[in-house]
Amino acid sequence: MTSIEGLKFREALVFDVTAMALCNASDSDAIRADPRMTAYFEGRHHPQQALPQRVGYIALANDVVVGYIAGHRTTRHGCAGEVQYLFVSDAFRRRGIGTTLMRLLADWFQAHGAQKVCVAVADDSPPETRPFFESVGASLFRKHWYAWQDIAAELQYRKSTTLGLLRVEVKN
């Protein structure tokens, strides 16, 4: 695995949404960033059965957003949490950034009592999306939906492995 030393990870704030959308727009093959992201981070946009608690994290290279993730508490599909957004710039993929972002979100879910977590994978998602979620322990449970029965436990092995190889700096 390529080292991601030098990257910084921190909690995303509403003022980061523009940089998150620019990160997404830099990839010509990517689906455009959800225009409702600002409302989501402000607590004004609520996906189906979403609860108010939500969080996001960003990965920064030289103070430029190169990846992001966000999720919220939910009651959808019998889950307690849902991954809403996950994107890593094409030039930064396959370096452990997505896994690190997933770990940060998994830690947040665990701290907020959410074990079973789901994520929707649309038909037009990039082809590597499904294999990525499977690689971090999610299983298909219905068409377009993957879930972790206990996201923190599923990612625990990856957490210890990732932290053993990478220097991860998280700033809150």
Q: What tens digit of pLDDT does each residue of 67-84 get?
A: 999 999 999 999 999 999
Please give the DSSP secondary-structure letter assigned to residue 129.
H
Of 68, 58, 67, nearest to 89 by C-alpha is 67
Taking residue 116's Cβ as centre, other Cβ atoms within 10 Å add up to: 17
State the pLDDT confidence band at 25, using cuts at 50, 70 and 90.
confident
Q: What percent of the chain has pLDDT over 90?
A: 67
d(C-alpha 78, C-alpha 139), whole Å: 15
Please give the DSSP secondary-structure letter assigned to residue 150.
S
Mean pLDDT score of the chain:
86
**Residue 167: pLDDT over 70:** no
The pLDDT of residue 116 is 97
Look at the domain 8-171 and name its fold: Aminopeptidase (3.40.630)
At residue 32, φ and ψ (nearest 5 deg) are -60, 150
At 118-133, the pLDDT tens digits run 999 988 888 889 999 9
Residue predicted with more confidence, 155 or 7: 7
The pLDDT of residue 28 is 64
CA 98 from chain center: how many Å?
7
The pLDDT of residue 1 is 23
Q: Any idea what the Cα angle at residue 127 is, between residues 33 and 20, rounded to 5°? A: 20
Lowest-pLDDT range of 14-18, 32-36, 52-56: 32-36
Domain boundaries, the chain: 8-171
Taking residue 72's Cβ as centre, other Cβ atoms within 10 Å add up to: 25
pLDDT mean over 155-165: 54
